[in-house]
Homo-oligomer: A and B are copies of this chain.
């Protein structure tokens, strides 16, 4: 594996001139080679200039060519599988199986978007034929398709070094839509990012696409990100990270002379509702299974179950007891970065030091420098409702159980929650009425509602919604996982009475692309 510590701008690899970025192996604290020097405004401008230059031809690539490009990226990533796993483990502390699985997911979603591109539904082709005889006014011939927004800025996430990073969901869906992508790689895993970035570079060259279709920048601090979002050529932003980071990008994007959409996936505590019959029938088993979800990936998932609600009583006590025992038995896991570990330790300490919160259990402490000790706490619904701080996400394997006086109080807590990525119901047949009472509230709070499962694990498919009301995301009208994510980077254009020679292929008579169309309001194909 040869890493050069360079920024990838189009087909070039260039050295930055700003502050050094060094990946740190969180399991050992060791700094990894090579050094990456951050880019500045000049590198942002160059990458955006190339992206803009590439846009005109890239957005009009044929469905087949664009799909092949996405598949070529997947193949190029697979060609460096071993290097990716090795470097990814060193940079993130994540285990081998997780990185291999995440690589599979990353390549799988590139291939899913290839299929989506070929199917062409995303074009949303509509045709209202001319009605020259209509009285009192004839109708013109009106056709619609969706086109790509323009160059897109993508911010790699710390917690998914592959699936939400350089070639992750945001990049895949933006490329699928026809948008060139400028990635700002996460400083925690620059080597993994370079490996993936070079795979995309090779795919661009192999497919004969203009080099500006993809660039990869690095930079510490917020300067480079703000410069990227402020660049007039950037037309949309994809981001996965903290609430403060996402909110800052939203403000920058809105303050531009031309405001642009920001798709930021930020903060969620993913409430789990233990309904009475389910809790009575299997409280202990639920407690054990819950901790399995809590500990996944050292709790470093956007969908980690950080809040559990039940009605106070023996059944909830049994759940808490079993969960507490599972927490006590939980081994320490290395967290992604020293910074994430420090923030987790602060969050855990704040919960433990909150007089309204009762500590139930802590997991084992580890020998490594940045290991996460699982935590479980309990508070009353009244105290939770009175203290906004208890709703704050603690990123890591800690959860808070809320004891509600009754179902009505559980409903009040649900109504008081901020926007969430997920809401989970644990229910048995006898809980159906209680669940029906909660569901309308949960639909307004979350992008995905689960029954008798756990929120961790996000399927990449057509029906998935990985999104939700603010602050879960900046835009609840979309998803960042699954095929519908392509719609974030498209806008409609209507063509009125255009001569056949000017019409885009997707809109030509006879439907040469063979895509599903809405003709006079009726679905065809």
Contacts and interface: CB of A to CB of B under 8 A. Distances in A.
Given A254-B250, A461-B128, A462-B128, A451 B497 contact: yes
**Which of A137, A463, A518 is most buried by chain B, counting CB atoms within 10 A of its CB?**
A463
A140 interface: yes
Interface string A99-115: 00100000000000001
A474 B259 contact: yes
A449 B523 contact: no
Interface in A455-484: 457, 459, 461-465, 467, 469-471, 474-479, 483-484
A497 B450 contact: yes
Nearest to A492: B465
B518 A523 contact: no
Given A261-B477, A496-B450, A143 B254 contact: no
B502 A435 contact: yes
Contact of A464 (B115, B452, B475, B494): B494
A463 B497 contact: no
A516 interface: yes
A261 B262 CA distance: 12
A338 interface: no
Interface in A503-521: 516, 518, 520-521
A452 B498 CA distance: 8
A479 B439 CA distance: 31
A132 interface: no
Contacts of A139: 459, 461
B496 A462 contact: no
Nearest to A446: B493
B484 A492 contact: yes
A198 interface: no
Interface residues of A, number: 82
A452 B497 contact: yes
A435 B495 CA distance: 13
Contacts of A469: 258, 491
A161 interface: no
Contact of A451 (B144, B471, B498): B498
A446 to B, nearest CB: 8
Contacts of A144: 462-465, 484
A494 B463 contact: yes
Interface stretch (A1-9, A119-127, A181-189): A119-127
B493 A449 contact: yes
A263 to B, nearest CB: 11
A487 to B, nearest CB: 8
Contacts of A436: 501-502
B449 A498 contact: yes
Nearest to A127: B463
Contacts of A261: 475, 477
Contacts of A258: 419, 469-471
A80 interface: no
B496 A142 contact: no
A396 to B, nearest CB: 24
Given A449-B496, A502-B432, A443 B476 contact: no
B477 A490 contact: yes
Contact of A491 (B474, B476, B516): B476
A58 to B, nearest CB: 12
Given A128-B461, A523-B523, 12 more contacts: A60-B440, A101-B136, A140-B459, A144-B462, A258-B469, A259-B474, A261-B477, A435-B502, A448-B493, A464-B494, A465-B492, A523-B525
12 contacts: A101-B136, A128-B462, A143-B463, A144-B463, A144-B465, A147-B443, A448-B495, A449-B495, A449-B496, A449-B498, A478-B492, A479-B492
The 8 closest A-B pairs by CB, nearest first: A465-B494, A126-B463, A144-B463, A142-B463, A448-B494, A450-B496, A128-B461, A128-B463
